[in-house]
Every structure is written in structure tokens, then in C-alpha cells.
Structure 1
Amino acid sequence: MAEKRVVEKEDLFKIQSVTNPQLSPNDKEAVFIKTKIDEQENKYFSEIFHLNVETDEVTQWTFGKERVSSPKWSPNGEQVAFISNRDEKNQVYIMNKSGGEAKKITNVESGINSFLWSPCGEKIWVTSSLKEGAAFTDKTEEKKQDNEKPTAYIVDKMRYKMDGLKGHGLRKQLVHSQIAILSLKDESIEQFSEGKYSHSLYDISPDAKKIIIGVNREEHEDYDFRQPLIMVDVETNEETVLVDHEGYYGGAKFSYDGSYIAYTGSDASYKNATHTNVYIYDIENGTTQNLTESIDSPVGDYAVADTQQGVNAPSIMWTETNDLYFQLSTSGDVQLYYASLEGAIYPASPEGEHVYDYAISKDGQFALVGVSNPTFPGELFISEIAKGERRQVTHFNDEWLTEVKLAKAEPVTYTSTNDWQVHGWLIKPANFEENKKYPLIVEIHGGPHTMYANSFFHELQLLAAKGYGVLYVNPRGSHGYSQEFVDGVRGDYGGGDYEDIMAGLDYVLREETWIDENRLGVTGGSYGGFMTNWIVGHTDRFKAAVTQRSISNWVSFFGVSDIGYYFTPWQIGTDMLDPEKLWDHSPLKYAKNIETPLLILHSELDFRCPIEQGEQLFITLKSKGKETSFVRFPDNDHNLSRTGTPNLRVQRLEQIVSWFEQYLV
């Protein structure tokens, strides 16, 4: 048997992402999406596959060079509809399970955002972003002519841009998401919603008489982050408000018998650090129950990683007996959980892994789950919940796994300041030898309200392959633990969170004799970039650092970030009325103390942490004669490391590795 090789940066092109499992109405078959990066085309392509649940036979159904998403079975189980960009703009296509070419059924000028089958099977509800006053049938958009003069963009709201949007992040003026009904009989389309508000479509009742939408009809949205959930009578347009609180609510789903609506959400008690819960609305009596109130962990998937593409896991799934399933992020795991309306709640998947996607059979007896762990990129499994048994049904990464040597992630738990318990992982170098000293790199996640998890992370494996130990922990501010823990960072950036990370470093240095304390590196992105900047401004223990898509100056961040004007007071506790406090929490203030060689990586179209944050830090350090370098990635946004242009993702990894190789010798 040939000796396995270590992980390489180009393995990004070999690892395949398996997501979006969708069980058919009879639960005997399923479809899902496989996504892979095409190195030659420098693009992401995805395909729909079919699974026979009884025989585990997997068959490819689509073959084009395209991105597909949102596969959904027709109510009779004879067809699958999906969204594809094969004709440039996203449109809905339908294919028969008996075979044949998929048929495009929408031709909306602005493309389709989402869709749902009507329970009758004769209609499909769709959403699209339309100009104010425009209709789904309009064909007025024209391509820009070469000699067309530019038009000024008039800004009258603070929420006028958003990271990830084309056109320099600017929101389209007077454009709103609207809902329409498409008849499959004659492909006619009837607009259902209108006005100057954006509408989300969540679900349709089993009798097709009601829908659940999300819409905020307030005139001034700069400080209004509500999206009320509303049940609408399709015939009369009568509305029943399910929830209208400040916070985030969505994922609404009717029970099979139409008696209840489940949805997930979090209020604004701790701003964006508030735990998400599952709520049950009783349609008959109009009461609402917080089903997960007793659990001090957030509902949903808060794990960060860099492999899975296009995951769109359901917020909640019902069974025919009115039981529910959902994901829960807890202590570094993302588990599938079961709940009954009577209040019984317990895990339906093992610890030590990341359930990143799932579908539940109607009777609740089995689930089709996407599962990953630190040495397993992710595949689909059929899990027989009551028996506690599962079997793997996709094997797209098997060949790659036979080629590479993956390093195990060993859990660590230690006590930080104020007796806070902190959890994380330590990876030894892939070719670890006893009685040998190795450098260690500390990785810090973004958010800060996300979490490292028992999930596969290519970047961490690459660093281990290059001969580094890797320590990655969940300091206070991370999700997956208590409400007190995730809220612990707000108003204290650079305080207890910094102490948690340094306490973790001290802990592994005491416990692991193989770590060379004179060859320590640190890196992180977004909040992790802020913390990297903060660390090197407050200690010289690290011999090299790489800061990515970082925050260096809260004063300028307030006005230049797409979220700066509200995220800053949420997290730091003040705004421009107290610039001194913003400056005190800004790593740029302490740049004069930085002696650690610092590499600054930033995307030019990052509007979450704009590139001026990296520019300020670089020029300041360079002007003081500090050891630094600045690498700019064109045409990419805040998500370069996860969904960015493939060749630039590889170049990013090259920059990180080469910087550490230069200084951690």
C-alpha cells in the first residue's frame, strides 16, 4: 500500500461538497447537490444527483457547467424543480424523474430568488427582485450600451450597501423582492405582492389556502431590523401576524396537518449575540410557545469551515405526528435534535461531528444527513434515528481520502480568567515525530458570534501538512455555549477574549512538550483579523502573524463598513459620540508597539471590513519601519476564503504558508 501524502493547497480542487438532501414524498428516493471547483474554468460547478433510499444507488441527473440550487420534489414525486444559472440569470427548471432534458419554466428578467411548489402540484410560487412598480412579466431591462453615460447613485439611507453585492456593494435603488404564482398549465404568472417593501416566502399551508411571508413595511429601516412573519389568506389577503418583535425570525414551516407553524428566531436582548430558539404557533388559538427556552445553546448551525458550498439546511422539519427536528450548535458540535410539542427534547445524532445539512422522513424514523468531522470532508448518510444506526450513501471523497494523511484534532478544555471554561482543539503536525520540536500557529475565527467545530477545515489541515501544530479555540463571544458566554465579548473586545486565547496558548505550552515556544504564529480573519492585530499590539510572543479581512480602526469602521453604524455600538458599546472609546478598542492605536512581522491580506471588494482597514494598518506600520507586507485580492468580497475566486483562494493559502515559512524557521 502506497504511503499517503500530506494535504496540499490544490486539494481545494479535489474535495467535493455534498449538500441539499431532499427526500421525495414517498421517502423512497432523494435528490441532492454535489459541488466541485473546476480548476481550468476557475469556477464552481454543481450537479443534481438522485439517491434510491432502499438500494443506496446514486445516479447523476444533471451534467451542465452551471450552478444549481434549491432542488424540490413535486407533490406527487414525479418531478424535481430547481434553480439554475445555465442561461446566466437564475431561473426555475423542472425535470421528470423518468428522464429527459430539464425544461425552463420561468423567464423573469431579474431572475428568480426562491420558489415553492403549491401542494396542488399545478402551481409554483416564486420570488424575484423587481424595480418599484415593475411586474414579473416586464422585459424592460436592457444591457448597458458602450456609450451610455454613468448615472449618479443617490444615497438617502445608511443601509445603502452590502458586502457581496455586485456593483461595488451598492444596493439597487427602488428594488424589492416580490412574490408571484406561476401556473404550470400555461406558464402564466400572476403577481401576488407589490409595493415598496421586500417580501420573503417561507411556506404554503397543506390546503394551499395560506402562505407565510416575511415583510417589514416600516418607512425607515436604518435602525429597524425586524422582519415580521405574517400568515396570509391567499383568497382574501387577510393577514395574521405571527411575530413582530425586534430581532431575527424566519424558517417558518406549517405542520403536515396545518394546525401549527414552527419558526426559528432570536429577539434583540443581546443584539446579534442572542440565542436562536424554536417557536410554535398554534393556529387555532393564536398562542405561541418557545419550545427550546430551557436549552442554553443556539438553534441552528454556527460552525465555520471552508469546504461545503451552497448549504441551505432547513431551519426546522416536521414529522406527520407533529414532532420536530432541527440543528443545535453545542460545545463545538452541530447536532440534529428531536423535539415534541409536549416538551421532550434530545439529540438525534452523535457528539463529535458537524451535521451540516439534513432531511427527515415523514414518519420521523430516519434522516438523510450531511456529516463532517475534522478528518472527513462530508458525505450523506442515512440515519435510522430510533436504532441509533447509520450508513454512508455517498462516496465522492473516498478516493481523495485514500490519498492523503489527515491530522487528528484533539479537544482541549482549560480555565481562563474569572474561571471561564474555554474549549478548543489542538492539531499536531501531519508527520509528527516524538522528541522533536515544532512551531505552533494559533487560528482565530471570525464573527465573533460563530464557532470552530468538529468539522473539516482544509486550511487547518494544510498548515498541519506544512509541519505546524495548530491551536484553534472558541473564546468568549463564540456561539455553542451559554448565553452569558456568547455575550461575554460585547463591550470588551481585546479584554476577556484576548485572555481566553492567550490562556489556551499557555495551557498547551504546559501540556505539550513538542511545541517550540520560540516559533509561534497567529492568524485569523474578520473578527479573527481584529484579534490578530490586537494580539501583536499587546505581546511580542509571536514571531509571525497574518491578519485577514481585519478591523484595525473602529472610528473609520463605523462609517465605511456596510454594517459599521449599528454593529459598532452593538459590539463596542458606543458610536461616534464617544470616539475615544472606539479608538481605545482599535488595534491601530497600538500599532507603534507591533514588533511581530505582520502580513496583511484583504479583498478589494470587501464591504464588511473594507480594505481601508488594511490600508491604514499597512501604511502606519510601514511608515514606522515595521516588518510588514500587504496583499490585495481583486474582485472578491469578505468571503474570499470560503467562496471566493478559486485561484485567489489558492494564492491566499500560498501567502499564509510562505509568510510563516519565512519567519517560523
Structure 2
Amino acid sequence: MTMNKRPITADDLTRIRIVKDPQLAVDGEKYAFVQTIIDDDDHQYYSHIFIHNLKDDIPVQWTFGKVNDHSPRWSPDGSEIAFVSNRSGVDQIWAMSALGGEPRQITNVRHGVKDPLWSPNGRYLLFTTSLAADESLTSDQSEAKKEEPIYIEKLKYKSDGRDLYNQRRFHLVLYDLKMNQMEVLTHGDFDHHSADWSPDSRQIVFSANRDKDEDYKETLDLFIIDTETKDIVKLTDSTGVFTMAVWSPDGKQIACFGHELEYKGATLNQVWLVNPLSKERTCMTLKWDVQIGDVTLGDVRASQPAPKPIWSKDQQHIFFTASDHGNTGLYQMDMHGEIKTIHEEENHVFASTYHPERKVFVVGISDPSNPGDFFKINTVEERKVRLTDVNADFLKAVHLSIPEPITAKAEDGWEINGWIMRPANFEEGQQYPMVLEIHGGPHVMYGNTFFHELQLLAASGYVVLYTNPRGSHGYGQTYADACRYDYGGKDYLDLMTAVDYVTDQFDFIDDTRLGVTGGSYGGFMTNWILGHTNRFKAAVTDRSISNWTSFYGVSDIGHYFTDWELGTNIVEDPEKLWQHSPIRYAKNINTPLLIMHGENDMRCPIEQGEQLYTTLKHLQKPVAFLRFPETSHELSRSGPPSMRIARLDHMLKWFHTHLFS
């Protein structure tokens, strides 16, 4: 371990500062961003707005208090910053002068707001809120709140993190700053989101599924609404998923991300151009076998706004992020589909903002040794300059393990990429237990970003192995699609191939002391592994799937996800669902297993953990069950800080008990 540095701890979650959502000002001389901390005293999240002049060394904090301020957006004339804050109790839009001073509240909306967006002429603020059909925008403080039965007729009536819909849908609302009036633009039993203004401030493009069979379709279309006539025009034809739409500077084209669901949830995103008049759309990146957008997994960067495509001033280029072989970089595409790299290193571009006149980006970049900072990239000079160092004190105090890339070859010749981390107290000639970490998704990727949990395991004396088995993004369309209909097949063999490779190659790994853990799909795979091998001496399964036959009916995505990923459903072929269910193989499980699950998880509901626990306990197998009250599927990334820390402490205790004893 580096002299005078200590091992990282679970409590260090409270010492890591997370920056996100940079927004360059109109003058290009400064940018706003959000910094989130976990308070040492009450273990709550607090976020504040910071302003950083590009000529200054240190950003200046602009908002304060035990509040959550986020989504800063500069007015078109640069005189004000609008942002979202819960300082009045519910998320509302607030604004403050670009010269500083006290913020003032702009909206008072019943269920709060999100995604504020200035119109180019500065007269309007567009935002999203949730409303039931008979609700008014503003709330009456005298209204008595009471519990009532919830009547449901929809197939889609809940989602993780959103809970039961209570008949509410997301709608676009226009706030006229000159008239001090609000108007709901969209109506109907549909969700509307991901909006952008046309350059003339009259039209808005947005994404929605407004199909009459919306309950049974997973498509997303692009629409345009005229703010004066309220006419809505549909641009796409309900065959795919199109979102993150952005108007070109002259208003003649719309760039967006999307795909035609050719491989269902495993389909690679592409960059598209859509003509708003003719509705003609063109896929611009079809010849590039790379996932457009950021799919790099981490556990400290929750609710990061996804970067939209960005137009150059001359409309000859579009900038976007893409994820490839464990890295998320920034790229430029011309109108012929030719792609040029703006920034691609062994790290993770998690945010970007661009000034078209100055041709300058401010990007957020993380790597395994840094939770994230901002950098300026000048596309003319092709030069990168560091702007912030928000975790300098923390990083000076702790020892971090730097991942080493590995490549294992499966029996069929496919290459499996991954990383290995040595324990913090590593000494040549010594042997250490190893933990295999398996990511969720499965159509995401581990990559070169900061991951607190992985660092914690290494700091606690473990070798850590994590890989991208087939089914992961980052290695092309064929690779991403390769686990569908085969869960527990070659994806399982890929993981075991990687374990075989590192235990053969590195003599410091004690292959008699192996642990395994994972969440969501990674939890499914942990359960599956235990039913098919006794090679591991301890396991922790997190928010997992144990029984596909029940998952179909209780998960917010179960009714289509089983079709997409296993190729069938409980009505058509319940036997296939059962064949792929880890609980079917419970009698083979002898590895001590800790089951962790959030009680409010609607993605992989807690009954999945309950079934596996009850079955193993009934079979008198070594198992324990850890339940987290009032936590969703996102517990490990954005759950209550005290619960996140407790989760990590229990994981370490379980592995220490079974791998160090």
C-alpha cells in the first residue's frame, strides 16, 4: 500500500464529491454544474449549483443549504440561471441572476417539475410534470391527503423508482414568463418526455408512445407540437425507439438516437437524422458497430442526465458519446456518416456541453482512480485541459487499486474482456481470496470508470475480477445479442472461462477461496452459478431473479422482458422459463449465500429473493436474507446512503466470514 495512504471504506461514500450536468454559458467564458455530496451528519444527499469561470482555478458555489438544487440552465441572453430545487418541499423551478443573489421561485406545481428548458427567444420555460386526467397543475394547500383504493386497468401501472402510477402521466408544460401563466401542452393517457425547442421558439419535438395499443408496445416515437395551434404531428411510425431529439440550428433537420428494435432490448443505438417536413429519416451510423451513448456502469454517479446529440454551428457535424470496449468517448460525425474521435482514452466521458462559436467542449471524465472531474477540450487545437479536482483531498488520503485489463478466450474462440484488481495490501509471494463481480443489464458494460464497491473489495484484501461476458454492450451488435434466449448458457461459460484464465495466470489468487456476487442480471447469474458449480466458497446475490415464471407477472418489465430475453412467456412456454430459473437448481446449491433485496424493488421484486431464501432454508442450505426497507432496484447506486453503507458492510462481513476463516 502506498505510504501514508489508508484503505478505502464503505463510509467513504460520504467523502466523495460527485459532479455532473455541466452547462456552458452563452458567452462561453464560464459554465454551471451540479455537485452532490452525502452529508456526514445526517447521511442525506445534498446538491448545489456551482459556477466556474474558465479563467479561474476554483469553481464558486452559488447555492447552499440542506437542499437539492440541480438542472442548471442558462437563459438565452445569459442574464439568468434557471434550476430545479426542492427547497420549497417539492421540486420546482427557481431562477437567479447570473450576477448572483438570492434565487426566486418560478413555479408552484402540484407534483413538482423536471427537465426545465428555455425557449430560444427567452420568453418561455418548458418543463415536465406528472398529472392525472382530472388534476390541476397547482395544488391547494388546504386539500386533505388521504389514502384511497387504487383502481387499475392498465398492463403498465408501475415502474421501479416511480412506484404505482396512480393514474398520473408525464406531460409537457409551457410557462410564459411574460404573462406569468402556465399551460399544459400535452394530454391523454401517455407519457411525454425528452423535449427540445425549434430555433424559432414555436415548435417542440418530444418522445412518446401515443399509440392506442401503448399498453402492449415498447416503442417510442418522435412528435412535434406547435405551441400556438397545439397541433401534434407524428414523425416516426411506431417501429422502434427514438429519443434525445435535437433541432438543427436552421430548424430543417432533427438529430436523435434510436433503433428499430431489431434485437429488442439488445439493439445498438444509432444516430438518426429526421426531416421534420417530409418525415424522412436516415440512420447515419449504421456502418459503425458501436453502441451510441453512455452504457458504462458505476455506483457513484446516479441520475446523470444522458448527453443528447450536439450540432455544430455550421450543421456539418454532430457530436455524441459512444461506448466501446470498456471506454465511453466523445465523437464527431459528418453528414456523410464519417466518424472522427474527439476524445477516446481509457476512461469514461459521462457528460458534455459545447459552445459552437468557440468550438470548445466542457466534458466530465471519470476513470478507475477518479470519481470524475471536468475538462476543457478545444476541437480546433485538439487540446484537453483539466478544470476541476473536486476529490483531491479524498484521493490523497486513500489507496486505490488500478485495474489491469485481461482477455480470456472461450471454447468457441470468442474473446472475453475484463479487468483484475489486486488487493490494497498486495505482496508478492502471498495468495489472496478472489471475488467475481457480475454486472446487471445484461446489455450494459463494465468499463474504465470509478467503482466504489470494486475498490472497497480490493481494499478489504480481495482480488477482484470483473468482465463483460457475451450479452454486454461495447463489443458490437452480435456480441450484445448473444445471450438472448440462452441465459445461463454461454454467458455462464464466459464467466467461468475468465475465472479459469485468471486463476491459471496469476499465482497470487487462492482458487480455494473464491467468492461471487452480482446485482439484477448479475444476481440471476450468481444464483445460476451456485446451482451449477460448487467452486465458489461464498456468494452474495443482490436484487436478483430466481424464478422467471413469477418474474413475468410481478416485475414492472416482466411481461415483455421474458419475451425479449428468453424468447417466450408463461402462457406460451412456461417450461422454458422454468428451465432458465435458478431456483429450479436450488437442491444443488451448497455455497453459503447472502440474499440482499430492496423491499420496494419493482424491477426484480423482493418475492424473487423470498422464494430463493425460503427454498434454500427449507432445504437446510447455508443462506441468510438481508432486506432493505423502502429501497428500490437502484439501492446500490442512489439508495438512502445509510442503506448503501449497510449493504456494503454486510457484503464484506459475509465474504470475510466464509473466505478468511
Q: Is the 8 A contact 1:298 1:328 kept in 2?
A: yes
Indicate whether 1:573 and 2:567 are aligned: yes
CA RMSD of aligned residues (A): 1.6
Indicate whether 1:449 and 2:450 are aligned: no
Matched with 2:132 is 131
Deviates more, 1:239-248 or 1:460-469: 239-248
Per the alignment, in what secondary structure is the counterpart of residue 297 of structure 2?
coil
Amino acid at match of 1:464: A
Post-superposition shift, 1:185? 2.6
Indicate whether 1:475 and 2:476 are aligned: no
Matched with 1:661 is 656
Matched with 1:279 is 272
Amino acid at match of 2:258: G
Indicate whether 1:300 and 2:293 are aligned: yes
Matched with 1:311 is 304
Per the alignment, in what secondary structure is the counterpart of residue 200 of structure 1?
strand
CA 1:648 to 1:223, structure 2 compared with 1: closer, same or farther past 3 Å? same
CA distance in 2, matches of 1:312, 1:439: 37
Consecutive unaligned residues in structure 1, runs of 5 or more: none
Q: Per-residue displacement from partner, 1:117-167 (whole Å, max 9, x unpaired)?
A: 1111122122221220434356488342xxx5x4222222221111112xx
Post-superposition shift, 1:387? 3.2
Q: Is the 8 A contact 1:321 1:363 kept in 2?
A: no
Matched with 2:170 is 177
Alignment partner of 2:514 out of 513, 520, 543 = 520
In the TM superposition, what are the counterparts of 1:395-474 in structure 2 within 5 Å? 395-474=389-468
TM-score (norm 2): 0.97
Alignment partner of 1:638 out of 630, 633, 642 = 633
CA distance in 2, matches of 1:555, 1:64: 48
CA distance in 2, matches of 1:585, 1:609: 16
Deviates more, 1:66-75 or 1:29-38: 66-75
Q: Per-residue displacement from partner, 1:61-102 (whole Å, max 9, x unpaired)?
A: 101211122111000011110111111111101110111111
> How many percent of aligned residue pairs carry the same amino acid?
44
Q: Is the 8 A contact 2:602 2:633 kept in 1?
A: yes
Matched with 2:616 is 621
Per the alignment, in what secondary structure is the counterpart of residue 343 of structure 2?
coil
Alignment partner of 1:269 out of 262, 268, 271 = 262
In the TM superposition, what are the counterparts of 1:536-551 in structure 2 within 5 Å? 536-551=530-545
CA distance in 2, matches of 1:517, 1:282: 58
Matched with 2:38 is 37
CA distance in 2, matches of 1:288, 1:56: 45
Matched with 2:151 is 154
CA 1:319 to 1:648, structure 2 compared with 1: closer, same or farther past 3 Å? same
In the TM superposition, what are the counterparts of 1:84-103 in structure 2 within 5 Å? 84-103=85-104
Post-superposition shift, 1:351? 2.0
Matched with 2:326 is 332
CA distance in 2, matches of 1:362, 1:654: 47
Post-superposition shift, 1:414? 1.7
Per the alignment, in what secondary structure is the counterpart of residue 630 of structure 1?
strand
Q: Is the 8 A contact 2:236 2:279 kept in 1?
A: no
CA distance in 2, matches of 1:222, 1:452: 32
Per the alignment, in what secondary structure is the counterpart of residue 417 of structure 1?
coil
CA distance in 1, matches of 2:607, 2:192: 34
Post-superposition shift, 1:197? 2.9
In the TM superposition, what are the counterparts of 1:380-391 in structure 2 within 5 Å? 380-391=374-385
Q: Is the 8 A contact 2:53 2:59 kept in 1?
A: yes
CA 1:130 to 1:661, structure 2 compared with 1: closer, same or farther past 3 Å? same
Amino acid at match of 1:277: Q
Q: Per-residue displacement from partner, 1:311-344 (whole Å, max 9, x unpaired)?
A: 1132211121211111101010011111111322
CA 1:201 to 1:506, structure 2 compared with 1: closer, same or farther past 3 Å? closer
CA distance in 1, matches of 2:237, 2:43: 44
Q: Is the 8 A contact 2:174 2:183 kept in 1?
A: yes
Q: Is the 8 A contact 2:194 2:245 kept in 1?
A: no
CA distance in 2, matches of 1:594, 1:191: 55
Amino acid at match of 2:237: D
Deviates more, 1:546-555 or 1:61-70: 61-70
CA 1:623 to 1:197, structure 2 compared with 1: closer, same or farther past 3 Å? closer
Q: Is the 8 A contact 2:118 2:125 kept in 1?
A: yes
Alignment partner of 1:255 out of 248, 253, 270 = 248
Post-superposition shift, 1:2? 5.9
Indicate whether 1:63 and 2:67 are aligned: no
Q: Is the 8 A contact 1:179 1:201 kept in 2?
A: no
Q: Is the 8 A contact 1:18 1:35 kept in 2?
A: yes
Q: Is the 8 A contact 1:109 1:141 kept in 2?
A: no
Aligned residues, how many? 657
Amino acid at match of 2:625: F
Per the alignment, in what secondary structure is the counterpart of residue 435 of structure 2?
strand
Alignment partner of 1:502 out of 486, 492, 496 = 496
TM-score (norm 1): 0.96
